[in-house]
């Protein structure tokens, strides 16, 4: 890679990092990306949720070639705001006070650079569709509201949204459910008549103490995300809200874990009194791509041609692909090259950005694709 080329890649990445886009506040990022896609010659449109769609027509004579979808999310976690990026020894970091936001601005950067390279070099390609979603970090909300009619028929697709070296493919991702639990106690004065009260905090504490949490097995996890309740030390708390989640690459295990957590709540109420509400929602479905699937073979062939290490792994995280695959869009999740996402230690080697650009160009212009 030439110094001039990498300067352009880095400059684009820095421009995107300068646009704060936490979940729910992607407007400025969407406007910027819409302009960039339009300058490249793509038609663009936005749906009511704020998702951005772009379409590049096929090279004349290749209208029957497979249509390929490229997908990234525009939002970041809240801690990736006011980022002050630094480059040290060829690796991009924040200054340590924020997350970097390479998740998913690294993916967006590579996507835009790959499109620019294909268009400027007039490389032959089939139709290319782009989907930039909103609110991925808050339960894949943007993908849930994506308009499938705007995407049209997709033959292959790539979601650029995972940590790890470029060439890594997620072939299996979990199902995820979330439960909003409200424990109901009875208020009383904590000094005059505590025995007349039922502490919702005590109910919640007993229930949580009996739950199997964190790593359940190789395929399943569970976590308490937040607890809220109480108004003062002199009042026996009568209401506590708990938000919890469980995810597993085996749907029956996810359901069993949710059932276990509900039973823990029932037992706590039986022991201490009071009551509880337990509202469960499946946030997204899991998926499993057979290792002999042709889409994986295409990626493997491209990696081998470019000298990139190819590997397929399971993941414990969700992405837009979880939602869109359930809608019949054959997306495969590709690693972007970053590490430490959502933390102040997040980093992205510039070499990995270059690798992802090269891989995307190969996937979009390979003879198999056209």
Q: Answer yes or no: is pLDDT of 3 > 80.
A: no
**233-260 per-position pLDDT tens digit:** 999 999 999 999 999 999 999 999 999 9
155 in active site = no
Secondary structure of 306-345 in the HEC alphabet? HCCCCEEEECCCCCHHHHHHHCCCCEEEECCCCECCCCCC
Predicted confidence at residue 370, as pLDDT, reads: 42
Q: Pick the catalytic residue: 104, 136, 354, 362?
A: 136
Average pLDDT of span 80-96: 96
Catalytic residue among 26, 75, 320, 354: 75
219 is catalytic: no
What is the spatial distance between Cα 71 and Cα 96, in angstroms, rounded to a whole number?
28
Check residue 318 and give its pLDDT.
94
- How many other CB atoms sit within 10 Å of the CB of residue 186? 15
Residue 237 burial (C-beta neighbours within 10 Å; 0-12, 13-18, 19+): buried
pLDDT band at 369 (very low <50, low <70, confident <90, very high): very low
What are the pLDDT digits (tens) for 293-338?
Answer: 999 999 999 999 999 999 999 999 999 999 999 999 999 999 999 9
Write out 247-265 in H/E/C secondary structure. EECCHHHHHHHHHHHHHHH
CA distance 244 to 223: 6
Query: Percent of the chain beyond pLDDT 90?
Result: 97
- For residue 6, the model assigns a pLDDT of 84
List, in order of start, the domains of the chain with CATH numbers.
3-173+286-365 (3.40.630.10), 175-284 (3.30.70.360)
Q: What is the pLDDT of residues 94-145, one digit of tens each?
A: 999 999 999 999 999 999 999 999 999 999 999 999 999 999 999 999 999 9
Could you tell me which of 325, 280, 344, 249 has the C-alpha nearest to residue 69?
325
For the residues 83-101, what does the mean pLDDT come to?
A: 96
- As a whole number of angstroms, the distance between CA 297 and CA 177 comes to 32
- Judged against a pLDDT cut of 50, whether residue 180 lies above it is answered with yes
């Amino acid at each position: 890679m030439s110094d001039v080329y990498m300067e352009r890649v880095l400059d684009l990445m820095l421009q995107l990092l300068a646009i704060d886009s936490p979940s729910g506040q992607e407007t400025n990022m969407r406007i910027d990306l819409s302009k960039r896609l339009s300058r490249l010659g793509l038609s663009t449109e936005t749906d009511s949720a704020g998702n951005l769609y772009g379409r590049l027509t096929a090279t004349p004579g290749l209208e029957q070639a497979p249509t390929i979808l490229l997908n990234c999310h525009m939002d970041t976690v809240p801690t990736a705001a006011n980022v002050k990026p630094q480059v040290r020894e060829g690796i991009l970091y924040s200054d340590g006070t924020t997350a970097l936001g390479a998740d998913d601005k690294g993916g967006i950067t590579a996507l835009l650079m790959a499109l620019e390279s294909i268009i400027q070099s007039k490389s032959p390609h089939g139709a290319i569709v782009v989907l930039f979603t909103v609110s991925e970090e808050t339960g894949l909300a943007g993908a849930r509201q994506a308009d499938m009619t705007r995407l049209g028929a997709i033959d292959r697709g790539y979601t650029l949204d995972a940590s790890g070296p470029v060439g890594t493919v997620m072939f299996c991702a979990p199902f995820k459910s979330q439960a909003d639990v409200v424990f109901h106690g009875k208020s009383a004065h904590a000094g005059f008549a505590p025995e007349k009260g039922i502490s919702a905090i005590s109910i919640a504490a007993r229930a949580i103490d009996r739950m199997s949490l964190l790593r359940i097995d190789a395929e399943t996890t569970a976590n308490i995300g937040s607890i809220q309740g109480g108004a003062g030390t002199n009042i026996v708390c009568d209401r506590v809200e708990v938000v919890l989640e469980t995810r597993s690459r085996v749907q029956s295990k996810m359901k069993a874990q949710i059932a276990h957590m509900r039973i823990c709540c029932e037992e706590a109420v039986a022991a201490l009194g009071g009551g509880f509400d337990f509202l469960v929602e499946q946030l997204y479905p899991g998926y499993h791509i057979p290792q002999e699937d042709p889409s994986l073979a295409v990626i493997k062939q491209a990696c081998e041609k470019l000298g990139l290490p190819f590997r397929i792994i399971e993941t414990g995280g969700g992405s837009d692909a979880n939602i869109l695959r359930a809608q019949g869009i054959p997306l495969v999740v590709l690693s972007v090259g970053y590490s430490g996402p959502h933390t102040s230690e997040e980093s992205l080697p510039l070499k990995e950005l270059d690798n992802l650009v090269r891989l995307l160009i190969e996937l979009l212009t390979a003879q198999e694709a056209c």
